[in-house]
Structure 1
Amino acid sequence: MVAFEDESTVAAFIQEQVSHPMACKHVGDRAIYQCHNDFGPVMKGLGNMIPQMTDFGLAQRGDKLEPLIHPIQPDEFRAPEVLLGTGWFYSADIWNFDAMPGTGPYSPAQHVADMIALIGPPNPVLKRRERDMHHWRWSPAALNPRGQLSGTAAEFYGGPFFASDGTFVRVDLIPARRSLVNEVPQCILEENHVDLFLEFMKKMLCWLPEERATAGELLLDPWLNLSTT
């Protein structure tokens, strides 16, 4: 759970309920409201820094013995190993970064293209894992966004995303003028702070899950301890 980035978000939500109340049902003397987790886009000026609220209904257990390959995470925050079906673990939570600009329909291929633009080509190890694991199936099958029953990551997300020679199959989607430097929030003005922020992000946004920093390591990162540096 995260705090709202601006108190006016709550006031706007309350006002919206006056004119457009949420759906609810009455059971005895209780009113049960439909789950609501969309409070609109993050306030302008902080959009690159403050995450959207995410429903705890998307939480998953990570202590199972079998490989974890089934779909998880909100679309925009999905880690590469989830999209590629190469097996995920708790390190997927470290990725949670919205790599996709704009508000158009979600496209997994575009998502991978944006990742490439931001952090460079995938590690060959990850591409090999996608080839080796593309036939791995989960059970029960899940409905993909197109309403089709899917039992593999490729079926669910429209992969595989890399050809047998390791090239990305939708090179045409890679934005030409995107980079991680462009994701630095405008409120970070000092050059040394910009460098610290970028180093912090690079520790999170690694293609290989095992190369990402842990939550404990990030907590000690200089970016989160500017007052002591």
Structure 2
Amino acid sequence: MLDYRAEHFYPVRLDEVFNGRFQVVAKLGYGSTHLIEITNAPPSRHPGAKNIRQLLDSFQVASPHGTHMVLVLQVSQMSIRDMDTVFMKGAGFEEEFVKSAVKELLEALDFLHNKVQCVHTDIHPGNLLLGVDDNAVFQQLEEAEFKSPVPRKQLGDRTIYLSRLMRPQVGPLLLSDFGETCLGPGPHAGDIMPIMYRAPETLLHIQWSYAVDIWSVGLTAWDLLEGRTLFNARKEDGSFSDGVHLAELVAALGPPPQRLLDRHRARALEYWDAQGNWGEFVPIPVGKTMEAAKTKLGDGKRTMFMNFLRRVLTWDPYDRPTSGELLSDPWVTS
């Protein structure tokens, strides 16, 4: 990967034993995190607790480049984003799969927001993993590695292994990656969320809370169904732009309410005049309304899905329903 820096990663070797109890038997992928603000979710009978990827243990390990924190996490399969890329070829998933995933995501958020009281801030298909109901699938992986080791190459002080591809099996959705989580309802401040998933309040530098996760649910549902993001947020040269992103929101949602712009007048005046009229220096995309957005669904199902999106994708975070309220949405329950 382009931003790979060897000192940020521990040079793991297959068969290596960590902390006297954990042995590496196969490589499924790679990843990193720079901040941990939430550890293990407390025991709970809440239905959404099962959809939070559990932290089972942690310890430190030394390498030539320093000390690394090792997190032992609940075993899982690939992310739903990778499933779409590898197996669906970027075409998105069938509606029933999407509804099931969204329902489990909403249950996870209901648990996080109401029981744990934290804001995830980084919800997207890449952080939604497919769990497993039966660990036997990993025993098969271990046997395959023993019989036919994956290709590898030596690079300096480390061995680079090819990741093993697993064909997805049925399992629960697991919300993962709590590296950017904020504890407490807030309001919080600061730059959060992947660029194309940013909620209006973050673009407008307004304090935020649980509602940013609800915004992400809507964009995630769209991505899973259509295999593409709803908003591009890029200029013609490919660079990201808040102005372009806000112009896309105006096209899709209509103008924002003045009460929202009044919460950070200085920021709002960079794009709107004092009366709330959009500046002309960034053109509003033509034909990019929510009604004009094309989906793979037929008319009846499309109407229900778009009504769901309309409830979730609102300018004002105070107008967005909670995760609990969305669990009874007609599209989710149909």
Q: Please tell me the TM-score bracket, short chain as reference.
A: 0.5 to 0.7
Residue 75 of structure 1 and its aligned partner are, at CA, apart by 0.5
Tell me the equivalent position of 1:207: 315
Tell me the equivalent position of 1:35: 32
Question: Helix, strand or coil for the counterpart of 1:89?
Answer: coil
Tell me the TM-score normalized by structure 1: 0.64
- AA aligned opposite 2:32: C
CA shift in 2, pair 1:167/1:40, >3 Å: farther
Tell me the equivalent position of 1:25: 10
Deviations 1:39-91 (A, max 9, x none): 598543328x87531372553215165x4221111101000001101211101
Asked if 1:82 corresponds to 2:202, the answer is yes
Residue 209 of structure 1 and its aligned partner are, at CA, apart by 0.5
Would the aligned equivalents of 1:62 and 1:90 in 2 still touch at CA under 8 Å?
Answer: no
Tell me the equivalent position of 1:52: 125
CA shift in 2, pair 1:62/1:128, >3 Å: farther
Tell me the equivalent position of 1:194: 302
Q: What pairs with 1:52-71 in structure 2 (closer than 5 Å)?
A: 52-54=125-127, 56-63=177-184, 67-71=187-191
Percent identity over paired residues: 25
Tell me the TM-score normalized by structure 2: 0.46
Tell me the equivalent position of 2:211: 91
Asked if 1:161 corresponds to 2:271, the answer is yes
Residue 177 of structure 1 and its aligned partner are, at CA, apart by 1.2
Mapped to 2, the partners of 1:94 and 1:170 lie a distance apart of: 30
Mapped to 2, the partners of 1:81 and 1:184 lie a distance apart of: 26
Query: Which deviates more, 191-200 or 94-103?
Result: 94-103
Tell me the equivalent position of 1:7: none
Residue 217 of structure 1 and its aligned partner are, at CA, apart by 1.1
CA shift in 2, pair 1:181/1:62, >3 Å: farther
- AA aligned opposite 1:25: Y
Query: Which deviates more, 29-38 or 91-100?
Result: 29-38
Asked if 1:183 corresponds to 2:293, the answer is yes
Residue 163 of structure 1 and its aligned partner are, at CA, apart by 2.6
Mapped to 2, the partners of 1:64 and 1:196 lie a distance apart of: 30
- AA aligned opposite 1:86: I
Deviations 1:106-154 (A, max 9, x none): 21111111011111000111111121xx4xxxxxxxxxxxxxxxxxxx5
Gaps of at least 5 residues in structure 1 are 1-15, 135-153
- AA aligned opposite 1:192: G
Tell me the equivalent position of 2:242: 108
Mapped to 2, the partners of 1:224 and 1:212 lie a distance apart of: 16
CA shift in 2, pair 1:95/1:64, >3 Å: closer
Mapped to 1, the partners of 2:244 and 2:274 lie a distance apart of: 20
Question: Helix, strand or coil for the counterpart of 1:175?
Answer: coil
| Structure number having the greater strand percentage | 2
Mapped to 2, the partners of 1:100 and 1:209 lie a distance apart of: 18
Mapped to 2, the partners of 1:129 and 1:192 lie a distance apart of: 38
Mapped to 2, the partners of 1:94 and 1:64 lie a distance apart of: 14
Tell me the equivalent position of 2:284: 174
Question: Helix, strand or coil for the counterpart of 1:111?
Answer: helix
CA shift in 2, pair 1:102/1:164, >3 Å: closer
Question: Helix, strand or coil for the counterpart of 1:182?
Answer: coil
CA shift in 2, pair 1:34/1:164, >3 Å: same
CA shift in 2, pair 1:196/1:27, >3 Å: closer
Mapped to 1, the partners of 2:281 and 2:302 lie a distance apart of: 29
Question: Helix, strand or coil for the counterpart of 1:223?
Answer: helix
Aligned residues: 180
Question: Helix, strand or coil for the counterpart of 2:251?
Answer: helix
Residue 101 of structure 1 and its aligned partner are, at CA, apart by 3.4
Would the aligned equivalents of 1:69 and 1:86 in 2 still touch at CA under 8 Å?
Answer: yes
